[in-house]
Homo-oligomer: A and B are copies of this chain.
Amino acid sequence: MTIKLGIIGVGRVGRLHASILTSRVANARLLAIADIFPEAAKSAAEAYGIPDYSSDAGELINSSELDAIVICSSTDTHVGYIVEAAEAGKHVFCEKPIDHDLAAIDKALRAVEANGVKLQVGFNRRFDSGNARVKQAIESGEIGQPQMLSITSRDPAPPPIDYIKVSGGLMMDMMIHDFDLCRFLLGDVAEMYAMADVMVDPAIGQAGDVDTAKVMLRFENGAIGTIENSRQAVFGYDQRLEVFGSGGEARTGNVHPNQVTISDASSVRRDLIMRFFVERYFESYVAEMNAFVDAIENDTDVPVNGADGRAPVLMAMAGLRSLRENRPVRLDEI
A4 CB-CB contact with B under 8 Å: no
* Closest CB in chain B relative to A293 CB, distance in Å: 15
B246 touches A263 (CB 8 A): no
Chain A 74-108 interface mask (CB, 8 Å, partner B; 1/0)? 00000000000000000000000000000000000
Q: Contacts A222-B197, A328-B327 hold; do A133 and B258 have CB atoms under 8 A apart?
A: yes
* Closest CB in chain B relative to A182 CB, distance in Å: 14
A294 CB-CB contact with B under 8 Å: no
A54 CB-CB contact with B under 8 Å: no
Measured CA separation A244–B232 after assembly (Å): 10
Enumerate chain A interface residues (CB-CB to B < 8 A). 22-24, 129-130, 132-134, 137, 142-145, 147-148, 150, 152, 154, 193, 195-197, 199-200, 212-214, 216, 218, 222, 224-226, 228, 230, 232-236, 238, 244, 246-273, 326-328
Measured CA separation A142–B212 after assembly (Å): 20
Between A132, A233, A249, the greatest number of chain B beta carbons within 10 A of the residue's beta carbon is seen for A249
A235 touches B133 (CB 8 A): no
* Closest CB in chain B relative to A2 CB, distance in Å: 11
Measured CA separation A247–B234 after assembly (Å): 6
- Identify A270's interface contact among B134, B269, B271, B326, CB under 8 A: B269
* Closest CB in chain B relative to A93 CB, distance in Å: 20
* Closest CB in chain B relative to A315 CB, distance in Å: 16
Give the residues in chain B near A235, CB-CB below 8 Å: 248-249, 263-265, 268
B216 touches A214 (CB 8 A): yes
23 residue pairs of the A-B complex, CB under 8 angstroms, read A132-B258, A133-B271, A143-B262, A147-B212, A148-B212, A150-B226, A195-B224, A199-B222, A226-B228, A230-B244, A234-B247, A247-B264, A248-B264, A250-B261, A250-B262, A251-B261, A253-B261, A254-B259, A256-B268, A263-B273, A265-B272, A267-B272, A269-B269
Q: Contacts A154-B244, A193-B216 hold; do A260 and B267 have CB atoms under 8 A apart?
A: no
Give the residues in chain B near A253, CB-CB below 8 Å: 259-261
Give the residues in chain B near A267, CB-CB below 8 Å: 267, 269-272
Give the residues in chain B near A148, CB-CB below 8 Å: 212, 214, 228, 230
Measured CA separation A134–B259 after assembly (Å): 10
Residue on B nearest A266 in the bound complex, by CB = B272
* Closest CB in chain B relative to A247 CB, distance in Å: 6
Residue on B nearest A145 in the bound complex, by CB = B199
Minimum-distance CB pairs A-B, first 8: A248-B264, A269-B269, A253-B259, A23-B23, A235-B263, A129-B258, A267-B269, A133-B260
Residue on B nearest A240 in the bound complex, by CB = B259
